[in-house]
Amino acid sequence: MEFMTNMPILLASGSPRRQELLRNLGIQFDIMPSNVEEVVELVDEDFADYVQKLAVKKAAAVSEMHKEALIIAADTIVVFDGEVYPKPTSKKQAESFLRKFSGNTHSVFTGVSILGKGISKVFSVETKVTFKELDDQLIRAYVDSGDPMDKAGGYGIQTAGALLVEKIDGDYLNVVGLPISKLVETLREEGIILVKEAE
């Protein structure tokens, strides 16, 4: 299945995972990463609102420079026991994250902002991820692979990080970094993309 777009789209993200997810649908877009500081106030542990505000901040920064385009921005966080787990800054921190997730269930929230051309939509999606009981050997081997270091929470479910996961409840692609189903639904509702008919 492929889609046609009736306006230029900019993805405000340097994430190769988000780019690949959009490309797989045949959606035409250009890339303009947002370099704004990813900091907004977290109020009353409302993580859904938090990621939405981050996504809006990213979209607004790019929209200021590209008013002719529709901007899609997203932000993903991993939350466990009331705390946000960002991209780890060291192998030691990555190992610490994974030990805390071991045998437990955490949440992955992605906020998405669609902004420009008179359109302003924002939403978030939550997926619950349950990890297996992890042994130290597996944790160290995974961290030594380097895979966790550029990923929120210190793992990638689409790579070898899948070996750590027992089950998920919700949208798998949301954990990868972009809830494609909800995004496409919203873009279609707004008339931004159309399903390309087979010739």
Output the domain CATH number for residue 173. 3.90.950.10
Whether 81 sits among the annotated catalytic residues: the reply is no
Per-chain mean pLDDT for the chain = 92
- Which entry of 75, 136, 150, 171 is annotated as an active-site residue? 75
**Tokens linked to 136:** 């130290």
For 17-27, how does the pLDDT look when each residue is reduced to its tens digit (9 = 90+)? 999 999 988 88
pTM, entire model: 0.93
Domain count, the chain: 1
For 132-160, how does the pLDDT look when each residue is reduced to its tens digit (9 = 90+)? 999 999 999 999 999 999 999 999 999 99
For the cut 80, the answer to whether the pLDDT of residue 44 exceeds it is no
**Tokens linked to 81:** 């026991």
Q: What share of the chain is helix, strand, coil (3-state, %, to 5)?
A: 35, 30, 35
Residue 88 pLDDT level (bands cut at 50, 70, 90): very high
Residues 6+ apart with CB under 8 A from 199: none
Give the residue numbers spanning the domain of 140.
Answer: 3-195
Which one-letter DSSP state was computed for residue 164? G
For 92-129, how does the pLDDT look when each residue is reduced to its tens digit (9 = 90+)? 999 999 999 999 999 999 999 999 989 999 999 999 99
Residue 42 pLDDT level (bands cut at 50, 70, 90): confident
